Amino acid sequence: MTACYDVTIRHQRHGPFSYGLVSAGEAWLVDLDNLPRLPRGLGWLAGFRAADHLGAPSQSLRENLDAWLAEEGVERPARVTMLAQPRVLGYVFDPLTVFSLYDRHGRRTGVVAEVRNTYGGRHCYLLSPDENGTAEVDKAFYVSPFNPVEGRYTIRVPEPGHALTVVVTLHRPDHPPFTATMTGTRTDGASLWRSLRRPWRTRGVSAAIRWHGIRLYLMGLRPYPRGGHA
């Protein structure tokens, strides 16, 4: 099972002034036990690597996720899908990776949301979505420099079908919510060759985040210190 989605990524800030950014990208839904690969000798062009996610680079993505779940007291799932971006021509920036956990009956039993910031740090949240794919969790990781490490997330991650929807809303006391969304539709021909036709997309998301950070700074916002959350 491999699927590729053309997605639109939106960030919307409602305070102290209204400001939003929009960028285009790709998101891949893959099975951790059957990752898509290019022919031998061409894997460096595009692919999914353990070094780009949680755990030890010397282990597989599945082994690293299983080890992290064991530390959290979660039984090894029968199957895991990952919603992420591949490394293309030596580069990847994946702000949010969603691992969906399934039991042997095919029921989704949980979600791991792996968040990555522009400083090279990452953090995983263990979620238990309801029947609508919605879960809540306290913020515990420094992401945007213009938001402190406080507040609570509402995360909506329904299982992808023909359409893909991911919504992350940050709630902070006495502040309007900050919302990030990723929406898209499934495309035909889910081959890693597809990513090589538009290799700038993952770089474009990273560049857009940095450019809009500069604009927010010029508009008067100031970064919060990273502290030990980086």
- With bands split at pLDDT 50, 70 and 90, how would you rate the model's confidence at 98? very high
pLDDT above 60 for 176: yes
Q: What is the largest CA-CA distance in the chain?
A: 55
Q: How far apart are alpha carbons 97 and 54 in whole angstroms? A: 10
| Burial zone of 19 (CB within 10 Å; 0-12 exposed, 13-18 middle, 19+ buried) | middle
Q: Which of the two residues, 203 and 82, has the higher pLDDT score?
A: 82
Residue at 45: amino acid letter: L
Mean pLDDT of 93-114: 94
* Sign, CA torsion 161/95/61/110: negative
| Residue 187: Cβ within 10 Å count | 12
Mean pLDDT of 33-61: 91
pLDDT in tens, 50-97: 999 999 999 999 999 999 999 999 999 999 999 999 998 888 888 899
pLDDT above 80 for 205: no
Picking from 77, 134, 74, the residue whose alpha carbon sits closest to that of residue 100 is 77
The percent of residues above 70 in pLDDT, for the chain, comes to 97
3-state helix, strand, coil in the chain (%, to 5): 20, 40, 45
Considering the chain, what is the average pLDDT of its residues? 88
- With bands split at pLDDT 50, 70 and 90, how would you rate the model's confidence at 23? confident
Least confident among 39-43, 116-120, 143-147: 143-147
- With bands split at pLDDT 50, 70 and 90, how would you rate the model's confidence at 230? very low
